C-alpha cells in the first residue's frame, strides 16, 4: 500500500531504492521480533547503531555505508512510519511517531528546508531524529575508502627498486630505496626490497 501511495511522486527506480532503504527497518523488526506499532526511540537508536557499525562484505575493515547513507535510510523509515501511523493507526492514544509535543513513541523534529539549498527551492519540510549521525559534507571529506582502488593501513614504501635496477615511485612521500646495502641507482644487481 505504501508504494502505491507514493508511486505518483517518484520514478520506478526510486521505488526500488525506497524498498531497499526500508528493508533495513523491516529486517530489524523481524530479527528483534518487534511489531512496527511497538517501535520506539530506543529501537531507532539501535537501528542507527547497527547501520553505522555494519562492515562492508567486500572490505571488512570498512563501514558498509557512510553517515549520509544512514541518514537517508532513517529518513525513509521516518517517512514510512508517518504514513503507517496516518493510514493504518490513526486513532492511537499514544502516537507512534511525531514531534515531542504529542508525546509519541518515536520523537522526530520537523525542520524547514532551506530554500537556497533544497532542490527546486520549494522550501518544504523534512524530519530528523536524534539517532541520525551528523551529515558528511562532500567538499570537506576525502574519497571514500570503499571506492578507492587501494587502501593501506600501514606506511607504504614510496620507491621500490627492482633487481634489474629500475626504480618505480609510488605516492608523494620523499623517495626511499630499500636495497640491501647496494645503490639502487646503479646497474648493480642485488636483492632489493
Three-class secondary structure of residue 133 per DSSP: coil
Extract the C-alpha cell encoding 91: 486513532
Buried b (16+ CB within 10 A) or exposed e, 19-45: eebbebbeebbeeeeeebeebbbebbe
- Gap between the Cα atoms of 136 and 5, Å rounded: 31
In which band, very low, low, confident or very high, does the pLDDT at 163 lie, cut at 50, 70 and 90?
Answer: very low
Three-class secondary structure of residue 188 per DSSP: coil
In which band, very low, low, confident or very high, does the pLDDT at 171 lie, cut at 50, 70 and 90?
Answer: very low
72: pLDDT strictly greater than 80:
yes
**Greater confidence, 32 or 144?**
32
Extract the C-alpha cell encoding 165: 635496477
pLDDT at 69: 95
- Gap between the Cα atoms of 58 and 147, Å rounded: 11
Instruction: Give the tens place of pLDDT for each residue, 101-131.
Output: 999 999 999 998 776 655 544 458 889 999 9
Task: Confirm if 85 and 96 have CB atoms less than 8 A apart.
Answer: yes
42: pLDDT strictly greater than 70:
yes
Give the DSSP letter string of 23-73: HHHHHHHHHTT--GGG--HHHHHHHHHHHHHPBPSSSTTSBSS-HHHHHHH
Cα distance between the two ends of the chain: 63
58: pLDDT strictly greater than 80:
yes
- Gap between the Cα atoms of 123 and 118, Å rounded: 7
pLDDT at 119: 55
pLDDT at 151: 40
Extract the C-alpha cell encoding 64: 558498509
Extract the C-alpha cell encoding 81: 512510519
Q: Considering the chain, what is the average pLDDT of its residues? A: 74
51-55 mean pLDDT: 96
pLDDT at 91: 78
Amino acid at each position: 500500500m505504501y508504494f502505491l501511495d507514493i508511486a505518483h511522486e517518484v520514478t520506478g527506480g526510486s521505488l526500488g531504492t525506497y524498498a531497499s532503504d526500508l528493508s533495513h527497518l523491516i529486517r530489524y523488526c523481524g530479527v528483534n521480533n518487534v511489531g512496527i506499532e511497538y517501535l520506539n526511540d530506543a529501537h531507532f537508536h539501535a537501528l542507527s547503531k547497527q547501520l553505522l557499525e555494519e562492515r562492508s562484505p567486500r572490505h571488512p575493515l570498512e563501514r558498509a555505508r557512510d553517515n549520509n547513507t544512514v541518514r537517508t535510510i532513517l529518513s525513509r523509515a521516518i517517512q514510512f512510519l508517518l504514513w503507517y501511523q496516518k493510514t493504518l493507526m490513526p486513532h492511537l492514544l499514544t502516537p507512534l511517531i511525531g514531534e515531542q509535543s504529542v508525546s509519541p513513541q518515536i520523537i522526530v523534529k520537523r525542520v524547514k528546508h532551506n530554500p537556497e539549498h533544497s532542490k527546486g527551492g520549494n522550501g518544504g519540510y523534512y524530519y530528523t531524529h536524534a539517532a541520525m549521525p551528523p551529515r558528511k559534507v562532500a567538499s570537506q571529506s576525502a574519497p571514500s575508502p570503499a571506492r578507492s582502488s587501494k587502501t593501506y593501513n600501514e606506511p607504504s614504501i614510496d620507491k621500490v627498486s627492482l633487481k634489474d635496477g629500475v626504480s618505480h615511485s609510488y605516492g608523494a612521500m620523499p623517495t626511499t630505496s630499500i636495497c640491501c646495502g647496494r645503490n639502487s641507482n646503479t646497474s648493480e644487481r642485488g636483492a632489493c626490497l
